[in-house]
């Protein structure tokens, strides 16, 4: 994964998770971008992502005294975010009328953010198409497949961390990731 | 492993679920290694794009964590607010019930009083005590008979 990417917000010298929780202001500063990014990529609605990210930190703040440091703070926060996204997706159908005031984001522009490398115009166009194809494929994935896929390839989390955050076994994470990759690759192949 | 990796085997390797033989093949076969590295690059580009797209949508606009303390104080007041609302509801329900019950008791009491008053009036309107009343009635009947005989 790009060294300037997901992990750029996480301090290199990490304190113990319990100590880290004592300065909650700092914790919000460090982890907000990552949690917001995961939620936004999952729900694709800026307002909903803002609300859910706030809820995530609010829940963490409320239960900070119960956190024993069994996992990293990042995994713990992502675990809360995964649950919130799941609940949001369940209730989404009931809120269809709210779509008129929707703040859903334009995901077509996702490929505008490709890394600026020395590529020929043709290669760049192809790369853009591939990124857009992956983005489009993630919509067709099941909720679990999408969550696992985003955590692995956007958040750069290890399989065991994903397992801890999603409550799945490592084997189940691999199965969901395999199926997600098959679907994504099928979409990429259709470009050729 | 003599043949190239199948599509499923490549996906399994990317998912971190490849066998050691598949991993060994991917390391030694230039074509399979190229395919894996191409896919890896594409997925990296996707991750990078999503990260920067999220930044453009405000992922780095971290709010002041004051919102936690504000929400915390209102949350702590939450149960009290519920208790207050419950108390008001109870008052609104219980007071009319109590009032109705009081009115009913008062009605019952006044009807009992009326009966008692009637009894007292009846008692006072008597010329003789109630145990002697039958004798008085007998006497009046006897005197009437005598008048008739005459």
Whether B3 and chain A come into contact, CB under 8 Å, resolves to no
| Nearby residues of A18 by Cβ (< 8 Å), 6 or more positions away | A67, A68, A69
Whether B35 and chain A come into contact, CB under 8 Å, resolves to no
Q: Domain extents for chain A?
A: 1-100, 111-192
- With cut-offs at 50, 70 and 90, classify the pLDDT of residue A4: very low
Whether B53 and chain A come into contact, CB under 8 Å, resolves to yes
- With cut-offs at 50, 70 and 90, classify the pLDDT of residue B60: confident
Whether B17 and chain A come into contact, CB under 8 Å, resolves to yes
Contact call for A105 and B67, based on CB within 8 A: no
Contact call for A28 and B62, based on CB within 8 A: yes
More confident of the two residues A136 and B142 = A136
Show residues of chain A in contact with B17, CB under 8 Å: 174-175, 177-178
Rg (CA), chain B: 51
Q: What are phi and psi of B136, to 5 degrees?
A: -65, -40
For residues B52-60, give the mean pLDDT. 86
> Token pair of B80, please?
């009290």
- Which pLDDT value is given to residue A2? 42
- The alpha carbon of residue A131 is apart from the nearest alpha carbon of chain B, in Å, by 5
In whole angstroms, give the CA distance from residue B86 to residue B97: 17
Give domain A111-192's CATH number out of 1.20.58.60, 3.40.50.300, 3.30.530.20, 1.10.10.10.
Answer: 1.10.10.10
- With cut-offs at 50, 70 and 90, classify the pLDDT of residue A120: confident
Beta bridge partners of A104: A45
- Which pLDDT value is given to residue A99? 53
Whether A178 and chain B come into contact, CB under 8 Å, resolves to yes
In whole angstroms, give the CA distance from residue A28 to residue A180: 31
Whether A3 and chain B come into contact, CB under 8 Å, resolves to no
Beta bridge partners of A45: A104
For residues A82-98, give the mean pLDDT. 76
The chain-wide mean pLDDT, for chain B, equals 83
Contact at 8 Å (CB) between B57 and A46?
yes
- pLDDT(A167) > 60: yes
- Which pLDDT value is given to residue A3? 37
Whether B132 and chain A come into contact, CB under 8 Å, resolves to no
Determine the straight-line distance between the first and last CA of chain A, rounded to whole angstroms.
Answer: 25
- pLDDT(B30) > 90: yes
- The alpha carbon of residue A69 is apart from the nearest alpha carbon of chain B, in Å, by 21
**Closest of A133, A157, A135, A148 to residue A179, by C-alpha:** A148
Nearest to B54 among A40, A109, A188 (CB): A40
More confident of the two residues A168 and A25 = A168
Instruction: Tell me, yes or no, if the pTM score tops 0.95.
Output: no
- pLDDT(A11) > 70: no
- With cut-offs at 50, 70 and 90, classify the pLDDT of residue A126: confident
For residues A56-77, give the mean pLDDT. 89
For residues B63-79, give the mean pLDDT. 70
How far CA B132 is from CA of A120, B118, B122, B137, B144, in Å, comes to 134, 21, 15, 9, 19
For residues A101-119, give the mean pLDDT. 68
Q: Which residue of A lies nearest to B6 if distances are taken between CA atoms?
A: A182
Contact call for A61 and B68, based on CB within 8 A: yes
**Which of A58-62, A66-70, B136-140, B145-149: highest mean pLDDT?**
A58-62
Q: What is the 3-state secondary structure (H, E, C) of chain B?
A: CCCCCCHHHHHHHHCCCCCHHHHHHHHHCHHHHHHHHHHHHHHHHHHHHHHHHHHHCCCCCCCCCHHHHHHHHHHHHHHHHHHHHHHHHHHHHHHHHHHHHHHHHHHHHHHHHHHHHHHHHHHHCCCCCCCCHHHHHHHHHHHHHHHHHC
Q: Which 116-135 residues of chain A touch chain B by CB within 8 A?
A: 127, 130-131, 134-135
- pLDDT(A67) > 80: yes
Q: Which of A81-90, A92-101, A128-137, B15-24 has the lowest mean pLDDT?
A: A92-101
CATH class of the domain at A1-100: mainly alpha
Contact call for B47 and A178, based on CB within 8 A: no
**Closest of A88, A85, A80, A78 to residue A151, by C-alpha:** A78
CA A133 from chain centre, in angstroms, equals: 18
Q: Which of A8-12, A146-150, A171-175, A176-180 has the lowest mean pLDDT?
A: A8-12
Contact at 8 Å (CB) between B13 and B26?
yes
Reported ipTM: the value is 0.82
Contact at 8 Å (CB) between A100 and A189?
no
**Which of A70-84, B75-89, B99-113: highest mean pLDDT?**
A70-84
Contact call for B44 and A1, based on CB within 8 A: yes
Contact at 8 Å (CB) between A84 and A39?
yes
For residues A67-74, give the mean pLDDT. 87
Show residues of chain B in contact with A65, CB under 8 Å: none
Other Cβ atoms closer than 10 A to A184: 28
């Amino acid at each position: 994964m790009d060294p300037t990417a997901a992990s750029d917000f996480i301090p290199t010298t990490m304190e113990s998770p319990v100590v880290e929780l004592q300065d909650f202001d700092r914790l919000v500063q460090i982890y907000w971008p990552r949690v917001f990014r995961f939620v936004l990529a999952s729900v694709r609605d800026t307002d909903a992502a803002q609300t859910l990210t706030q809820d995530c930190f609010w829940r963490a703040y409320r239960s900070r005294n119960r956190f024993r440091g069994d996992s990293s703070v990042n995994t713990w926060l992502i675990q809360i975010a995964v649950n919130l996204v799941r609940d949001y997706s369940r209730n989404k159908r009931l809120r269809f009328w709210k779509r008129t005031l929707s703040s859903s984001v334009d995901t077509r522009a996702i490929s505008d953010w490709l890394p600026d490398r020395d590529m020929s115009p043709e290669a760049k166009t192809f790369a853009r198409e591939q990124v857009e194809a992956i983005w489009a494929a993630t919509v067709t994935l099941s909720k679990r497949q999408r969550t696992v896929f985003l955590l692995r390839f956007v958040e750069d989390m290890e399989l065991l961390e994903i397992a801890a955050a999603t409550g799945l076994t490592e084997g189940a994470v691999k199965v969901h990731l395999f199926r997600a990759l098959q679907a994504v690759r099928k979409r990429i192949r259709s470009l050729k | 492993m003599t043949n190239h990796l199948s599509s499923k085997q490549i996906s399994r390797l990317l998912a971190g679920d490849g066998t050691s033989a598949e991993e060994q093949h991917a390391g030694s076969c230039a074509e399979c290694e190229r395919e894996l590295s191409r896919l890896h690059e594409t997925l990296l580009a996707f991750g990078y794009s999503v990260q920067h797209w999220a930044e453009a949508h405000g992922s780095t606009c971290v709010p002041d964590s004051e919102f936690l303390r504000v929400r915390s104080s209102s949350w702590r007041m939450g149960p009290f607010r519920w208790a207050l609302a419950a108390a008001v509801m109870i008052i609104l329900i219980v007071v009319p019930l109590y009032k109705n019950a009081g009115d009913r008791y008062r009605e019952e009491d006044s009807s009992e009083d009326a009966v008692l008053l009637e009894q007292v009036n009846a008692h006072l309107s008597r010329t003789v005590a109630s145990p002697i009343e039958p004798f008085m009635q007998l006497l009046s009947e006897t005197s009437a008979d005598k008048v008739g005989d005459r």
